[in-house]
Chain A
Amino acid sequence: MNPIQVQREKTRSWTTRRDAKRKRKDGLSGITDGKVIPTESIVDVLETLIKPGDRVVLEGDNQKQASFLSQALSSVNPEKVKRLHMIMSSVSRPEHLDLFEKNIAERVDFAFSGPQSLRVAQMLEDEKLTIGGIHTYIELYGRLFIDLIPKVALVAADKADSQGNLYTGANTEETPTLVEAAAFRDGIVIAQVNDITKELPRVDIPGSWVDYIVEADKPYQLEPLFTRDPRHISEIQILMAMMTIRGVYEKHKVQSLNHGIGFNTAAIELLLPTFAEKLGLKGEICKHWALNPHPSLIPAIESGWIESIHCFGGEVGMEKYIEARPDVFFTGPDGSLRSNRTLSQLAGQYAVDLFVGSTLQMDRDGNSSTVTSGRLAGFGGAPNMGHDPGGRRHSTPAWLNMINSDDPLARGKKLVVQMVETFQSGNQPVFVESLDAVEVGKEAKLDTAPVMIYGSDVTHLVTEEGIAYLYKTDSMEEKRAAIASVAGVTPIGLERNAKRAEQLRRDGIIALPEDLKIRRTDAKRSLLAAKSVEELVDWSGGLYEPPAKFRSW
């Protein structure tokens, strides 16, 4: 036997990361001897702590932004701080891309860039940046712990004490995840805070995970992204919502779910206390939610429909209402909401029965994308929610209901519902021969076309024409026929064969409103539990305080 010769690396240090961090922090001795950085020194501090080529995670999702730190980072001297590899859930603010124009950063990994999608595409074309990958939220968070571990994390919190304990409150969102990835592998954590106070309402992130805090010159940017004014809900959207409630939620006994952003889903939320209540569905469906605190859910909550809601983030104006409804929302001992984007994304992926989303384009196989020509946006969380996680084991009635075979090993499926009108505004057909995403993927030299939700994951398609029960189809040909049957007068819809559609209807693969006992003429705005933001405020007993842009009265 030949024993393996193990050459121990006697000379190797096993603490290089820790030593490097200490050395960087020593460089700050002239500026601070504790954790508090003076506001006006932030640019100096970043120039000292961040080294060329560092991987830097900068907090910013579609709602909350570490805006003071992003501005400071874009003001550093590009001679000192350069070639950074940025990791950002969302590329949202103008200075996020100024970093690349100024040659401070050169590479980016992200999940969503909707607000900067033209510039991202242009700068990629101009070779002003390189893209590591366009991820889903969960993927990006996952990689922070594997091969994209940050050297520096720049995050935002509401309040801090001088020990660096952070209160992130309703807008905790992704902060704990970003901090954890840096803090426990000798990265440096810098938090901008709106206030430094003696007492915190509660500690969301312990001070020992945080290296520095800095009071920002103004509060971090926060967008009310999930507020939909019921005034803008159309009768077609109400019709589609009625069909979804009857033909999907009731049919499959959907108890736990996630709704995307949009007027379609807002319509469903506002029909629960009226239309669905009349059907006797209260307590049978829609009890548990992974959802941002949508104001349009207030009437359903007030009517006793909702048992629990776990939130990705907060929603501006909903703070007081949430504090007064701790039986429904996750709240801390101080009373305020605790959100967590990572955990809610995971819950929405694995623990709920159903996801409803919408799209700008769908091809004949049911693949969908919101990508349009010349833009590069990513999809954030939609692909996390909008797929069937194959590893799931626990069963629920809705999940089991998707079994469509006698196979003894058959398993259920998550319900992935796409809800679209056949034409977008501007008379553009939603159902198309080929997704723009295919061309965009080629132009941007992406490894795969930027598809938001794959046709293979979609179980239901709801349009103003009817519902296609795609999970029931047993061939691609049948699936295409089902999609075409509800695709209206779009190019795909015109391929429909009337006889075939009638057969699909008899087989229960498509359902028209009348098959669900819904009269098109019944789809009236008077069915909505609230028809305006003002009425939402009334439902909340004055606790909901909508942001100025939603106050029209």
Chain B
Amino acid sequence: MSIAFLCPGQGSQQPGMLHRLPDHPQVQKTMNDAEDLLKKDVFSLDTEKEFQSTTAVQISLFLWSIAMYRVFRAEGVKPDMAAGHSVGAFSAAVIVEALSFKEALKLVRKRGKWMEEEHPSGYGMGVVTGLSYNQLKRLLKEHDSNKTVYIANLNADDQFTISGSQTALDVFLKSASNEGARKAELLNVTVPSHCELMRDVTKKMRQALNEISFSRPKIPYAGNAIARAFLDAERIREDLAESISKPVRWNETVHLYYERGARLFVELSPQAVLSDLVNKTFPEARAISVSNGLENCLFLLERYNRKS
């Protein structure tokens, strides 16, 4: 019976999120470290206006997860495995100790910037629920014959995000709605993540990753592009680059960690998107987000540790 830490990606941001982090020396330290490195007031990043930029969103989410991870470490809690969704993978790489906080933060900033520059406007993402993977693939074949819409995240058996140009997304989401999707709508995301349209960003990121050193991870890291548990620094390096232009196989990741024994999932996030997915899928497991309150998490972790 193990504990898995989950780090969110875009979509889990909330204006003011950094201001709502708990008052803890480790939070303060993380923000100070970040300010030294970014040479700017990090608490100015989490406004609604700043969040128009994916860079601000990605940095804020990364800092949020790492600050909370450090709080847990200071309180004596260690995970047995870690996984991150999209940019959350960089947080996970820090948690498994494959990548240093400083290097990771610099990479996250680059990631956001490069993604923005690649498609400054006219592109985005949508969400489709209530269809199976096969049904969605069939719909794409029928209604997107030019192949301009891509499956970007496989979040649950019946929940997916798609990427593409605004116009292509609009057309396809309408068809999905007509063909029985429970929900088919645009997301408030300005970049077409996790698809071919990001191939060049993958190339740039691979180059950047090759210039820094990785350590052998202490605990498993879950790949985004290939849903495997990696204990090998090179596989993590490759995944952090490759996953920018490949679908995130999150559903498999969570199943994989469940099968590897995770029964308590702690989401280091201002929202509870990932933990809701776990709770919906696995009645035998327990998932909680730090957004439910640090005290609640610590209480659960303590009770859990005593039990196992």
Contacts and interface: CB of A to CB of B under 8 A. Distances in A.
Given A94-B259, A94-B260, A116-B259, A122 B134 contact: no
A193 to B, nearest CB: 22
Contacts of A93: 261
Nearest to A94: B261
Given A373-B133, A373-B134, A428-B132, A118 B256 contact: yes
Contacts of A126: 228
A373 B132 CA distance: 11
A119 interface: yes
Interface residues of A, number: 15
Contact of B255 (A118, A373, A426, A427): A118
B252 interface: yes
Contacts, number: 27
B110 to A, nearest CB: 31
A201 interface: no
A133 interface: no
B259 A115 contact: yes
Interface residues of B, number: 14
A94 B255 CA distance: 12
B116 interface: no
A374 B132 CA distance: 13
A224 to B, nearest CB: 12
A224 B230 CA distance: 33
A94 B158 CA distance: 26
Contacts of B228: 122, 126
B130 A427 contact: yes
A374 B251 CA distance: 11
Interface in B256-297: 256, 259-261
A122 B130 contact: no
Contacts of A117: 259
B157 interface: yes
Contacts of B130: 427
Contacts of B227: 122
Contact of B252 (A94, A115, A374, A428): A374
Contacts of B261: 93-94
Contacts of A122: 227-228, 256
B132 A118 contact: no
A115 B261 CA distance: 10
Nearest to A118: B255
Nearest to B283: A549
Interface in B114-141: 130, 132-134
Nearest to A117: B259
Contact of B260 (A119, A427, A428): A119
Given A94-B261, A126-B228, A426-B157, A119 B256 contact: yes
B252 A118 contact: yes
Nearest to B130: A427
A40 B289 CA distance: 39
Contacts of A115: 259
Interface string B146-181: 000000000001100000000000000000000000
A119 B254 CA distance: 12
A468 B109 CA distance: 62
Contacts of A94: 259-261
Contacts of A97: 259
A97 B256 CA distance: 12
Contacts of A426: 132, 157-158
Contacts of B255: 118
* Most chain A beta-carbon neighbours within 10 Å: one of B132, B227, B228, B259: B259
B133 A119 contact: no
B65 to A, nearest CB: 25
A126 B232 CA distance: 15
A94 B258 CA distance: 9
Nearest to A120: B259
Nearest to A432: B134
A117 B252 CA distance: 11
Interface in B238-263: 252, 255-256, 259-261
Contacts of A427: 130
Nearest to B158: A426
A495 B23 CA distance: 63
Nearest to A119: B259
Interface string A419-446: 0000000111000000000000000000
Interface in A343-398: 373-374
A312 B32 CA distance: 62
Interface string A93-107: 110010000000000
A94 B256 CA distance: 10
Nearest to A123: B228
A426 B281 CA distance: 12
Contacts of B158: 426
A122 B158 CA distance: 21
A210 to B, nearest CB: 30
Nearest to B2: A94
A196 to B, nearest CB: 25
Contacts of B133: 373
A531 B176 CA distance: 40
Interface string B291-308: 000000000000000000
A135 B130 CA distance: 34
Contacts of B134: 373
A516 to B, nearest CB: 33
A97 B258 CA distance: 13
B30 to A, nearest CB: 32
A126 B227 CA distance: 12
Given A118-B259, A374-B252, A428-B132, 10 more contacts: A94-B261, A97-B259, A118-B255, A118-B256, A119-B259, A119-B260, A122-B227, A126-B228, A373-B133, A373-B134
Closest 9 CB pairs of A and B: A94-B261, A118-B255, A119-B259, A94-B260, A116-B259, A426-B158, A118-B259, A118-B256, A428-B132
Interface of A: 93-94, 97, 115-119, 122, 126, 373-374, 426-428
15 contacts: A93-B261, A94-B259, A94-B260, A94-B261, A116-B259, A118-B259, A119-B256, A122-B228, A122-B256, A373-B133, A373-B134, A374-B252, A426-B132, A426-B157, A428-B132
